[in-house]
Structure 1
Amino acid sequence: MEQKNIRQLSLPELEAYFIEIGDKKFRAKQVYEWIWQKHAHSFDDMTNLSKQLRTQLGEHFTLPALGVDATQFSNDGTIKSRFKTVDGHLVEGVLIPTDERKTACVSSQVGCSLSCKFCATGYMDRKRNLHYDEIYDQVVMINEQSERSFGKKLSNIVFMGMGEPLLNYNNVLKAIERISAEDGLGMSPRRITVSTAGVAKMIKKLGDDEVRFKLALSLHAANDKKRNEIMPINESNNIKALVEALNYFYKKTGSEITLEYILFQNFNDSIEDAEELVKVFRQIPADLVNLIEYNTIDAFQFTKPDEDTVQAFMNHLEKRGVNARLRRSRGKDIDAACGQLANKAGQD
């Protein structure tokens, strides 16, 4: 009989299992706590269960958990972890510390299928989706890093690591449900942001599901011609479709929307580009435009603009009434910054 991942069982399903084997129903709650609150990595960790019961669980179920394969420490305090799945795949997650907050940047897929030109992950094949318990494990381990290194729990989570979250829709939503559950990590969904390259029909589905977390759209160009060049997904999900989807999402949820915009020298950094961004911003109930420093990757030949160009772009947005913020990249020296995650070797 094939063993089932015990973390895929709900509490009622666990209760049914214990009743079926003639044990007490309350055992299910004990096991559930070990899985989701005490973060057991094996049945042997479950010390308030008898040895016989732990052996029996091991015969019937698996308890797969991510392990840390390598860790890198940036000069600015950023910590990048390379996690290994039980079937040998590698994904990366990043702890981004500032004075105000401790943020986990987590992955949703092994690789990515979208091939955005400026993103290192986009040059990797998509091997598979991460299961919701694997996403949960990333958050747990990055939270432990935060407590060890800074004496504080995570304050925020962003789905901005490897992969497109909305192409792993069910697992991402289930992971967020576990992260925000009282019998999970108990984090408010309002402190969680899911970033998408723009899958219009799935943005609408988020609205239909009335999610409570925040949404960020990776825009990076404010007209279809330029966006097609750097983000092939735009050919099937153009800006007009995304504007419509984001308005639908906001109408259904009232959740905060942010536009992400990486500045590339002599490509999308002119005043004309800024004005096009203003026009898109005004069509969407967005709270903020995040201007992002471009972080170089080997496969993409763009560079970031100089400070004067960035400031002129920012000034134009502000003059036109756009709430804009320049997000300085962190962890660049260990390839942990926005767009750089690609499983490069770290140190154990």
Structure 2
Amino acid sequence: MAGKQNIRHLTLAELEQYLLSIGEKKFRAKQVYDWLWLKPVQHFDAMTNISKDLREKLANNFSFPSITVDTVQHSEDGTIKSRFKTIEGHLTEGVLIPTEERKTACVSSQIGCSLSCKFCATGYIDRKRNLNFDEIFDEVALINKQSLEVYDKKLTNIVFMGMGEPLLNYKNVLKAIEKITSPEGLGMSPRRITVSTAGVAKQIKQLGDDKVRFKLALSLHAPTDKKRHEIMPINDSNNIKSLIEALNYFYQQTKNEITFEYILFNNFNDSLQDADDLIKIYRQVPSDLINLIEYNPIEFAQFTKPSEEKVEAFMKHLEKNRVNVRLRRSRGKDIDAACGQLANKG
């Protein structure tokens, strides 16, 4: 494998050039390219309309390091969690979340995470490396295959809310989305893709400059710098004021939807004063929605879930103040597939 170029890092034009150089017809490049992206396979032997001789030449000259499904867990609510293995044996996770109307893939962008958010299981795992764009594409393609096999329906949505911080793997995430939305890939509308960030102000502005077409979600989880600093160390270098400024810039450049994600922790960020502080932030950003998320306990953290009454009171207070708010009930809790629980426990 060492020394060989990853075949999926070639453009179609580069593939054409290579095949012409070894005496093959130009149209073969499109056939190979389709196997790489449009009807993705995981090894050269699966390219059935290519001659054995050409398959061998490709295998001798290029690597094809696709990720594979290591283990699969099925929740009683229909959620499916997959643990994926990279070519060198690293593990990462993705989740298929089915509802009547939607089939959503929750995908990872890194192996582990460097941000150390106190409530998130992935935050307690060291970041090993970024996932390459083709590995992120593999995650989506494999979850799409699961959706077709189990539910007879293709994916309708993708959320980058799995392991890792997408904006700290900026180029690979954008290139993966480019492939996922391309007619030569999965052909999904970028409007059906949401990238969730813990808040990297500089990169949020970069998304604006790059005129991306997907949606953005900010994992806020606390309405003041003091509280956010306690649970999300990234707030030290990306405070709420800088994030508000970055989100406004992003919206000016793209007019794309912005959502706030807000996990409710018992006796930490669930008072009516917290709700008022949250409303102040909401009013400063052209946000479409606040997603209230129920907390899913993890063994490393001391947080607990608020009572249903407290959640209800918090939500009603937001609604009374004309905030568009939705309570997101967690799926896949019984298999550690819910928000904040991905930790490769298998």
2:149 matched residue in structure 1: 148
CA displacement 1:264-305 (0-9 Å, x = unmatched): 000000000000000000000000000000000011101010
Counterpart of 1:91 in 2: which secondary structure? strand
1:119 matched residue in structure 2: 120
| Counterparts of 2:80 and 2:35, CA distance in 1 | 27
1:45 matched residue in structure 2: 46
CA displacement 1:125-152 (0-9 Å, x = unmatched): 0000000010001111111111111111
Counterpart of 1:193 in 2: which secondary structure? strand
| 2:217 matches 1:220 | no
Q: How does 1:231-242 map to 2 (within 5 A)?
A: 231-242=232-243
| Counterparts of 1:159 and 1:188, CA distance in 2 | 15
2:166 matched residue in structure 1: 165
Q: How does 1:323-338 map to 2 (within 5 A)?
A: 323-338=324-339
| Counterparts of 2:226 and 2:50, CA distance in 1 | 61
CA displacement 1:103-134 (0-9 Å, x = unmatched): 00000000000000000000000000000010
2:108 matched residue in structure 1: 107
| Counterparts of 2:153 and 2:48, CA distance in 1 | 27
1:311 matched residue in structure 2: 312
| Counterparts of 2:315 and 2:46, CA distance in 1 | 53
| Counterparts of 2:9 and 2:162, CA distance in 1 | 23
**TM-score of the superposed pair, with normalisation by structure 2:** 0.99
| Counterparts of 2:308 and 2:210, CA distance in 1 | 42
- In the TM superposition, residue 63 of structure 1 has moved relative to its aligned partner by 1.0
Letter in 1 for 2:3: E
| Counterparts of 1:289 and 1:152, CA distance in 2 | 28
- In the TM superposition, residue 50 of structure 1 has moved relative to its aligned partner by 1.3
| Counterparts of 2:301 and 2:164, CA distance in 1 | 18
CA displacement 1:144-193 (0-9 Å, x = unmatched): 11111111111000000000000000000000000000010000000000
2:16 matched residue in structure 1: 15
Counterpart of 2:72 in 1: which secondary structure? strand
- In the TM superposition, residue 22 of structure 1 has moved relative to its aligned partner by 2.2
1:286 matched residue in structure 2: 287
| Counterparts of 2:261 and 2:41, CA distance in 1 | 37
| Counterparts of 2:234 and 2:154, CA distance in 1 | 36
| Counterparts of 1:40 and 1:332, CA distance in 2 | 31
- In the TM superposition, residue 26 of structure 1 has moved relative to its aligned partner by 1.2
| Counterparts of 1:49 and 1:75, CA distance in 2 | 42
Q: How does 1:182-193 map to 2 (within 5 A)?
A: 182-193=183-194
Counterpart of 2:53 in 1: which secondary structure? helix
1:201 matched residue in structure 2: 202
1:61 matched residue in structure 2: 62
Counterpart of 2:83 in 1: which secondary structure? strand
1:273 matched residue in structure 2: 274
Letter in 2 for 1:48: N
| Counterparts of 1:69 and 1:94, CA distance in 2 | 13
Letter in 2 for 1:115: S
1:31 matched residue in structure 2: 32
Counterpart of 1:336 in 2: which secondary structure? coil
1:229 matched residue in structure 2: 230
Structure 1, 56-65 or 18-27: larger mean CA deviation: 18-27
Counterpart of 1:157 in 2: which secondary structure? strand
| Counterparts of 1:137 and 1:40, CA distance in 2 | 9
1:322 matched residue in structure 2: 323
Structure 1, 19-28 or 67-76: larger mean CA deviation: 19-28
Counterpart of 1:94 in 2: which secondary structure? strand
- In the TM superposition, residue 338 of structure 1 has moved relative to its aligned partner by 0.1
- In the TM superposition, residue 51 of structure 1 has moved relative to its aligned partner by 1.1
Q: CA RMSD in A?
A: 0.7
Moved runs in structure 1, 4+ residues, more than 4 A?
A: none
- In the TM superposition, residue 93 of structure 1 has moved relative to its aligned partner by 0.2
| Counterparts of 1:134 and 1:2, CA distance in 2 | 19
| Counterparts of 1:111 and 1:120, CA distance in 2 | 10
Letter in 1 for 2:175: K
- In the TM superposition, residue 213 of structure 1 has moved relative to its aligned partner by 0.1
| Counterparts of 2:271 and 2:234, CA distance in 1 | 24
Letter in 2 for 1:246: L
CA displacement 1:50-90 (0-9 Å, x = unmatched): 11111111110011111110000101000000000001000
Letter in 2 for 1:86: I
The aligned length equals 345
Question: How much identity, in percent, do the aligned residues show?
Answer: 71
| Counterparts of 1:142 and 1:32, CA distance in 2 | 21
1:138 matched residue in structure 2: 139
